Amino acid sequence: FEHVYFARPDSLMDEISVYKTRMRQGEALGKKIRRLRPDLHIDVIIPIPDTSRIAAQSMAHELGIKFREGLMKNRYIGRTFIMPGQNQRKKSVRQKLNPVPLEFEGKNVMLVDDSIVRGTTCRQIIQMARDAGAAQVFFASAAPPVRYPNVYGIDMPSASELIAHGRTVEEVCQLIGADWLVYQDLDDLVRCSLEGNPGIEGFDCSVFNGEYITGDVDQNYLDRVESLRNDDAQSQQRSALQADGALVGIHNDV
């Protein structure tokens, strides 16, 4: 997930360029789109800023389709998927991004994001694209479906909050309101990173395949983590701390 989302694009991790890795992700996704839907008519490819920009540019080049910056970002809103509570995440998406209508009006738009976690962001952005006049809205994820919780430090502890958990790609597509949805294949994602350093033995892909690299994570552990860290539990913890006068975090509610 570092190569997909968290790492800065100018980072080198284990001698692997994150920038080049994301370029390869876009190329692989473009090839998959051509293979699955060779007749799909896409007028423009638009990244959901900022992390997906490199993959989207590379995909556009691979497919020979125009790349446009159709979503303008408010730099004062943080990362939405790690914000506390679904209501806060929904509110922040609308505050964070504004569409450029001329890039959407009457067009078949392919939106590209680095991943789909809870589905909050992409669902609202797809609706935003329709409100801006898009004829059809397709969606591409540079990462495979996130179906399992992360237990190594990323705030994705609850499987029930992951939109792809227990669902097919078609079901996720319907839930987010896209006309078509395509995910990166896990094998391609791993290959995109390994090409930067073939000496690497492997990566933790647990959020995609449920195989935890430490080998000590079972369902009982996951159930316990979920009970302690899901949205409801965190909301109760914040309320208890606030009642005690503690400062539990700052988020811009303006």
Bond into 188 cis (ω within 30)? no
Q: What is the pTM of this model?
A: 0.85
The rounded distance, in Å, linking the Cα atoms of 45 and 61 is 10
pLDDT number for residue 254: 42
Q: Which residue ranges form the domains of the chain, and what is each CATH number?
A: 2-243 (3.40.50.2020)
Name the burial class of residue 226, with classes exposed (0-12), middle (13-18) and buried (19+) by CB atoms within 10 angstroms of its CB: middle
pLDDT number for residue 82: 47
pLDDT number for residue 158: 85
The rounded distance, in Å, linking the Cα atoms of 50 and 46 is 11
The first and second tokens of residue 220, run together, are 């009982």
Is there a contact between 166 and 139 (Cβ–Cβ < 8 Å)?
Answer: no
pLDDT number for residue 167: 97
Short-list 186, 184, 221, 219, CA closest to 203: 186
The rounded distance, in Å, linking the Cα atoms of 43 and 53 is 17
Provide the residue-wise pLDDT of the chain in tens; the chain has 254 residues.
Answer: 788 888 888 999 999 999 999 999 999 999 999 999 999 999 999 999 989 999 999 999 999 999 999 999 887 665 545 455 555 555 566 678 999 999 999 999 999 999 999 998 899 999 999 999 999 999 999 999 999 998 888 877 688 899 999 999 999 999 999 999 999 999 999 999 999 899 998 888 999 999 998 989 999 999 888 888 776 666 666 666 666 665 555 544 44
pLDDT number for residue 179: 99
Beta bridge partners of 141: 113, 183
Phi-psi category of residue 215: left, alpha or beta, with phi > 0 → left and psi -120 to 50 → alpha: left
pLDDT number for residue 242: 63
The rounded distance, in Å, linking the Cα atoms of 187 and 213 is 17
The rounded distance, in Å, linking the Cα atoms of 194 and 50 is 23
